[in-house]
Amino acid sequence: RNGYKCYKNDGRLQRGVLSSGCPSPAPPPPAPAPSASPHAPPSPRGPASLAASGLRRRRSHSPATDLHGCCCEPDRPIGYGAFGVVWSVTDPRDGKRVALKKMPNVFQNLVSCKRVFRELKMLCFFKHENVLSALDILQPPHIDYFEEIYVVTELMQSDLHKIIVSPQPLSSDHAKVFLYQILRGLKYLHSAGILHRDIKPGNLLVNSNCVLKICDFGLARVEESDEARHMTQEVVTQYYRAPEILMGSRHYSNSIDIWSVGCIFAELLGRRILFQAQSPIQQLDLITDLLGTPSMEAMRTACEGARAHILRGPHKQPSLPVLYTLSSQATHEAVHLLCRMLVFDPSKRISAKDALAHPYLDEGRLRYHTCMCKCCYTTSSGRVYTSDFEPVTNPKFDDGFEKNLSSVRQVKEIIHQFILEQQKGSRVPLCINPQSAAFKSFIRHAAKTRKK
Ligand SMILES: [Zn+2]
């Protein structure tokens, strides 16, 4: 279903959250100063931006056709969560439906500033069909009024969590083509030196053609090559958390993402969460129920308490053959690959690159590049395939910009400048249309999410 195909590019557009052609951020109005006005509007706008809205308002001659028009989709929320609010909106430049995300709590403190800046940088860096990237960042207002960042991305209709819990049938072809795309995206991210650290079905967006994109880089970071340096253990949703994190390892690698993919692969086959525990300790117990008691070697990076917990308990034998009972789709090939991902010792777990070479994924690759990808194309004499089915990135993502960030004000200025630099393309910049009813509703939803 393509909701925007019949969209008419007329005066109705100005009713949406986005407006285009907004000139460069105007200087702030002379008064009142921000500090003197506690009731300043949430999204202050310069006079030029207001004038632009007014212009578009006058052009709109048939208000009766807006919002409730037969084929004009209204802007509406499509997702909530710790990540903020995501809206499905119309890009007024081409009438296409896109996703608009408001980055939450950007300038609260230095930590959140850095986190958001890192995520923004990543979203602008990514160029891969199976990784969500920024199509646009909305034009920021003058720096004195710069409080919010809005990112426009491609609109995806669903995610893997919604699909798995839905009643719709999932064939083994679905499982193969989804897993192929997850690993294809992950191979790219890992080649960029990035750990996602929150791979879960809800962060794998899927459109109506079954194209899958990895999203939400709020917890992502560059890999740490120095094993002596501690990394946070406050990562990955519990059900998908790798055993080394559950066991308190101070250092981990991109293989934590592969563990999550293994859990998702099993969930695709069985349509239920593989390790659904109530607590991190029970999570570890469920893992050892399946894999057996790990060897001392496999626990070498664990913290003392976690190792003691394992050694105190009964010695468990592995029970991997139960994976064949996940579903009729759990063939020998599928279980073989699954067992290469669900390996307790991270250094022995398969990499995304090697997983892609597993025969289980051959059909997924063929299907993807035959009718879903953008890297191959069809001519009158047949399909022309790309020379590289699973591309990597070179150079890696560079997080050197994080080194000298020392104050909220400084980061704010750098982000402001960064966004303006992104706008240097040929497209007309986008900004928020604060006059729209949809925008007021957007702000209300965003505020509600913040309180939760
Ligand atoms: Zn292709």
Residue 8 contacts by C-beta under 8 Å, 6 or more apart in sequence? Answer: 71, 72, 95
Which of 198, 257, 354, 398 is labelled catalytic?
A: 198
What would the pLDDT profile of 43-102 be if each residue is shown by its tens digit? 333 222 222 222 222 233 333 223 223 335 777 777 665 556 788 999 988 999 999 998
Pairing of strands 134-137, 97-103: unpaired
Q: Compute CA 406 distance to the chain's CA centroid, rounded to the nearest angstrom.
A: 27
User: Ligand 1 centre and the CA of 375: distance in Å?
Assistant: 4
Cα→Cα distances 378→184, 210, 211, 290, Å: 22, 19, 18, 45
Distance (Å) from CA 128 to ligand 1 centroid: 11
Interval between CA 159 and ligand 1 midpoint (Å): 22
**Structural domains in the chain?**
62-155+406-451 (3.30.200.20), 158-384 (1.10.510.10)
Which residues carry a binding-site annotation?
Answer: 101
Q: Is 289 considered catalytic here?
A: no
Q: How many helices (H) and strands (E) does the chain have?
A: 13, 14
Q: Where are the beta strands (DSSP E) in 91-157?
A: 97-103, 134-137, 149-154
Contacts (Cβ under 8 Å, ≥6 apart) of 325: none
pLDDT score, position 263: 98
Q: What is the pLDDT of residues 109-137, one digit of tens each?
A: 999 899 999 999 999 999 999 999 999 99
The residue type found at 69 is G
pLDDT more than 90, % of the chain: 65
Q: How far is the CA of 136 from the centre of ligand 1 (A)?
A: 25
Contact between 204 and 159 (Cβ < 8 Å): yes
CA quadruple 201, 202, 204, 208: dihedral sign: positive
Residue numbers in the known binding site for ATP are 101
Report the chain's mean pLDDT, rounded to a whole number: 83
Residue (of 217, 101, 80, 92) closest to 155 by Cα position: 101
